[in-house]
Structure 1
Amino acid sequence: MYTTTNETGILNNYSKEPKLYYAEFPTKEQQSKYAFQGTVAVLFVTSIILIALGVS
């Protein structure tokens, strides 16, 4: 842990900074998986809304 002291004697503790990395663009396989998951999510939410409207 990195610690500094200012003029008045107050300690400041700094946490260890994580290493940075750049995000990579998803592959075609990952993109198709995300599209499928989005489609399933939309169908699921739509069915829940239709069931709620049908019950009420």
Structure 2
Amino acid sequence: MPYTNEEGGRLNNFASEPKMYVAEPPSGKQKTQYALWAAAAAVLVGGLVFVAVSASQAG
């Protein structure tokens, strides 16, 4: 563990830093999966809004 001495003789303990890497852009297959998940989320949210509006007007 890396320790540093500060003023007054105090020790300071720093967490070890994770290894860094360069992110790669998504492949065509990943982009397709993202689009499908986005469509499914839009259908789910639209359905929830429809149910909420229907329930609020039922009374």
Relative to the length of structure 2, the TM-score reads 0.89
Q: For residues 15-55 of structure 1, give each alpha carbon's deviation from its aligned partner in whole angstroms, at most 9, with x where no partner exists.
A: 11110011110000000000000000001001100111001
* Distance of 1:7 and 1:41 partners within structure 2: 54
Aligned twin of 1:29: 29
* Distance of 1:14 and 1:31 partners within structure 2: 38
Aligned twin of 2:41: 41
Aligned twin of 2:2: 2
Count the aligned residue pairs. Answer: 56
As a proportion of its length, which structure holds more helix?
A: 2
* Distance of 2:25 and 2:7 partners within structure 1: 47
Segments of 5+ residues of structure 2 without an aligned counterpart are none
Segments of 5+ residues of structure 1 without an aligned counterpart are none
